[in-house]
Structure 1
């Protein structure tokens, strides 16, 4: 069948006449992908010497035409100020002018690659571009947070619209299933703190203060930090990947067509689940970290028994350290969920965009956690807590 179709095609020909300052291009025969290869060189030569604004077409002898033929003909006038103007056509054709214009609109014209510059000015330019990108990312995240909060307020006024099942599912996936890895990491962090503190305090004859060191650092900082970083690396990337894949498959667009608010159905359950589970995971991380420090204090030369460890921690560690650590957890959970969901909603239609957004989600979440933790530390320092 393919051979018979080729036999029915009329070879493509090109007739060019120049009169009164105009270059009349008359394509003849069938200008389809199987025939236009014979006239491509002739078209290139014509495009190199002719003025694009002087090109006019005559389609009286034109047979069939497809996108390949339209693309080659459209290249003659692509550099003209009005490449699709009516003055380019001497006669009417039902297909060719519209097809040439459509192919031109859908043809991606890539800008030439700029040579990479070096030096002080180039470094300052890149620094400025980076600062501007960070500023725009921050504004975008704040806007996304505002949209999420308004959706939460709207759902609070209409509680029957709240989606309990997705929220509980995310609580299990992002919270309960993350507990083992957070507990293991926190255990070893507590053990490392005890080792380092014991070696230093032993030279000063104050090894018993290892208990205070482990309790304060784990309760105040490391318990919540390890939890937040693990949420950023594990759950936050999962949020971005799942929402991004839905965006790529146009499921988000389908929700909008059906009248379903994506923020209400997708974003809000993840934000609520992550905000609620962060304090619980932090508490588990604190317990595991203190257990790690207790094991080291008992098994090394310190010879601090678990009973003595717990008693001293109870007598010398104020509850404010525990409350400081717990107060950070829901804030970290909210920020991590907002960043992960926003990056997922920003995914384009290709896999490269998904990978780039997932990486940005994890990096931005960890950066935000550390910055917010520093702000909390300065705030509590000024308050004397």
Structure 2
């Protein structure tokens, strides 16, 4: 009776260092392993031959101890385990974070080529889908020309206020600072040659042809394009878009067209505001840094900059607006039923819009150079 009672008693776990090995003894159970501690800096292995019973917590303690002793070099040997104990150690090791994780498979040349092919195929499918969506938008816009009463005027005015009027402060400040920077940097270089007056030409051409409308489009892509994706994506998550289709309403006509039209109308106006603000900033810095008075700045601007310099920038605006609006709404309609897809596609909308705007600007620059404008 006494022997049976002794069989069920727990033998407290003990830890010691003997001849460079950490020796564990007793029962390694969840109730006792937390209190074990020992200086194991000089140890070279773990011996559990004297361990009696061991549960999952005890096995984890042994494996963690071996890992701490091994440091960056991996785990040290664990000796003295019975078959049952070794099986438990292997099971716990396989389920520990980073335990027995197979090494990453080395990619062969064929794998790399396959990955490139899949990326190209995915990009091509995206181009086809966006082109098809652009066709739907253009068809909806053509329908408005035939049936003007289908235009949702209230929605159009609302979006013009959101993407146009409310964007005026940030566009104005951005363009003003760009003009200041151009004048300051240009003056540093032109002063070396005594050609300070040519800073007027530098500012006018850079702002009117390129930077004014390009940076405005980038700001609108980050501000309004992402807002389009988030708004339409939220409606998609709440199944409002599906409800529209069930009622026989066209989401492109109701959700996309007013937003795209609002951008097409307001972006040239914002571009004009950016041009004026950029010239004002450049004129102010030229006066401060170079002593070019506003009257001299104005006279040189009128004498050397023709209308085409301004028109080249404004001509780009509707195309940039179409890119931003179509991409923003397209990504919004792709949103699934979770918030993760909404955030991911909102970021994608901004990145793709800015990329395509820059590509379009480069193509316009090449075209105008070829025709001599």
Cα offset, 1:133, TM superposition: 1.9
How many angstroms does 1:119 deviate by?
A: 4.8
- Residue 318 of structure 1: aligned partner: 306
The corresponding residue for 1:334 is: 322
Given the superposition, is the C-alpha separation of residues 261 and 308 from structure 1 closer, same or farther in structure 2, using an over 3 Å criterion?
same
One of 120, 124, 128 as aligned partner of 1:131: 120
In 2, Cα distance between equivalents of 1:278 and 1:117: 50
Once the two structures are superposed, residues 180-215 of structure 1 have per-residue CA deviations (whole angstroms, 9 ceiling, x without a partner) of 101111111111111111111111111100000000
**Correspondence 1:356 to 2:344:** yes
**CA positional deviation for 1:151:** 1.3
1:163 maps to which residue? 152
Q: Is the aligned partner of 1:152 residue 2:117?
A: no
* Alpha-carbon separation, structure 2, partners of 1:346 and 1:128: 23
Structure 1 pair 129–117 and aligned structure 2 pair: CA distance change class (3 A)? farther
* Equivalent position SS for 1:124: helix
Q: What SS is found at the alignment partner of 2:335?
A: coil
| 3-state SS of paired residue (2:164) | helix
Q: Can you list the C-alpha shifts for 1:199-249, whole angstroms capped at 9, x where unaligned? A: 111111111000000000000000000110001100000000000000000
Question: What CA RMSD, in Å, does the superposition of the two structures yield over aligned residues?
Answer: 1.5
Equivalent residue, structure 2, for 1:238: 227
Q: For 1:236 and 1:311, locate their aligned partners in 2 and report how far apart those are by CA, in whole Å.
A: 39
Equivalent position to 2:244, from 249, 255, 266: 255
Shift of residue 127, structure 1, vs aligned partner: 2.5
Q: Does residue 1:205 correspond to 2:194, yes or no?
A: yes
Shift of 1:311: 1.0
**1:366 aligned to 2:354?**
yes
Correspondence 1:384 to 2:372: yes
Instruction: Write the distance in 2 (CA, Å) between the matches of 1:124 and 1:199.
Output: 49
Question: Following TM superposition, by how much is the alpha carbon of 1:283 offset from its aligned partner in structure 2, in angstroms?
Answer: 0.4
Deviations along 1:101-154, one digit per CA (max 9) or x if unpaired, are xxxxxxxxxxxx995543544333333222222211111111101001111222
The 1-side partners of 2:285 and 2:253 are apart by: 47
Stretches of structure 1 that go unaligned for 5 or more consecutive residues are: 1-112
Distance in 2 between residues matched to 1:309 and 1:122, nearest whole Å: 61
Distance (whole Å) between structure 1 residues aligned to residue 116 and residue 149 of structure 2 = 49
- Give the one of 214, 218, 226 matched to 1:229: 218
Give the match for residue 72 of structure 1. Answer: none
Give the alignment partner of residue 306 of structure 1, picking from 294, 300, 303. 294
CA 250–118 in structure 1, closer or farther in 2 if over 3 Å, else same: same
Aligned residue among 249, 264, 267 for 2:253: 264
Rg larger in structure: 2
Question: d(CA) in 2 for partners of 1:117 and 1:152?
Answer: 51
- Are positions 1:189 and 2:173 aligned together? no
Residues of 2 paired with 1:233 and 1:118: CA distance?
37
Deviations 1:276-314 (A, max 9, x none): 1110000001111111111110111x1011111111101
CA distance in 1, matches of 2:129, 2:105: 29
Structure 2 distance, partners of 1:173, 1:126, is: 41
Helix, strand or coil at the partner of 2:280: helix
Stretches of structure 2 lacking an aligned partner (at least 5 in a row) = 1-101
**TM-score normalised by L of structure 2:** 0.71
TM-score (norm 1): 0.69
